[in-house]
Amino acid sequence: MNTLTKRIPLNVLDLIGISEGQTIKEALEQALESAKLLDKLGYKRLWFAEHHNTISLASMATSNIIGLAAQVTENIRIGSGGIMLPNHSPLQVAESFGTIAQLHPDRIDLGLGRAPGTDAQTAQLITRSSADPQSFANSILDLIGWFSDKGLAHSVPVTSNVGTGTNIPIWVLGSSMQGASIAGQLGLPYSIATHFTPDDFKAKIDQYRSSFKTTSPTAQIDKPYVMAGINVVVAPTDEEAERIWTTTQQFLMDMLTGKKRLLQPPVDPEELGTEQDRKKIDSMFSIKAVGSPETVRKKLEDFTEQTGADELIVVTYTYDPEDRKRSMEMLADLWF
């Protein structure tokens, strides 16, 4: 591995998968055990996603699990990948994250997205603010004010109190050209969801970089900064990793067909529906590094070169929590 690639931080996005035969409580406990392990292994960030009305995932109350994970770790940064801002009152986000950051200073990240993280019907039940770009920008400006040393929103003379002085760094999550442009215009770091929307990822990153404005009132960095998502499963052999990967393929197929199941055990590839089904799955999750340590190292290096990313964030679904643990350990060994 070249020196430049080796220096790129490696992070983990956890959606807290729930496997068949596992309780929600066990899945949440496993997520906290995983946080301890990632901290010990030297990963830079652990982010938790926000999803709703999905029975195979337990990452709904994102700020709650972030607070719990911060309690059981020491060095790793804990954050959201992300908080879907239209689902929340910005003031409540400032209060929730401010509280966590007061107890765990300089370790909390706030990644923000505009998508609902769920279906339209569920979104109607939880929508609190507008998803249009200007409203999104205004909410971020208020959040920056609430996290500043003054602790006041920019739009109204209201304080979050607990957020004051925490200066929590804000990231913009995006999967589209518009999302990339918004992140650039806001002058904020950009986390691109290449792990599930791989199409035209180079163009999206270019759009982010070309639209980047340091003069924006929301700008927190002085040059573009990109984190790119990639699906990863590491196992002793390519064959074993590919078999473990079929759990992810089944999960995606269930999402596409509306089938509601918990994460399923690995299967033989020919059991994954029709050839057309498999092609559709492969196209959606084409950004992946699945295989032996040598295979994964090469794919991560290639992806880093293709994106020019400053950091990578990996997503790993497994039916057996021990397979995920081993994958994270082997990934740390090959990268750090």
pLDDT (tens digit per residue) in 83-95: 999 999 999 999 9
Q: pLDDT-derived band of residue 335, with 50, 70 and 90 as boundaries?
A: very high
User: Using CA atoms in the order 94, 97, 99, 103, what is the torsion angle rounded to 10 degrees?
Assistant: -150
How far is residue 311's CA from residue 101's CA, in Å, rounded to a whole number? 22
Per residue in 127-180, pLDDT (tens digit) is 777 789 999 999 999 999 999 999 999 999 999 999 999 999 999 999 999 999
pTM of the model: 0.95
- Across the range 46-65, mean pLDDT stands at 96
Q: pLDDT-derived band of residue 6, with 50, 70 and 90 as boundaries?
A: low
CA-wise closest residue to 253 among 225, 275, 238, 234: 275
- Backbone angle region of 318, left / alpha / beta, with phi > 0 → left and psi within -120 to 50 → alpha: beta
Contact (Cβ atoms closer than 8 angstroms) between residue 21 and residue 317: no
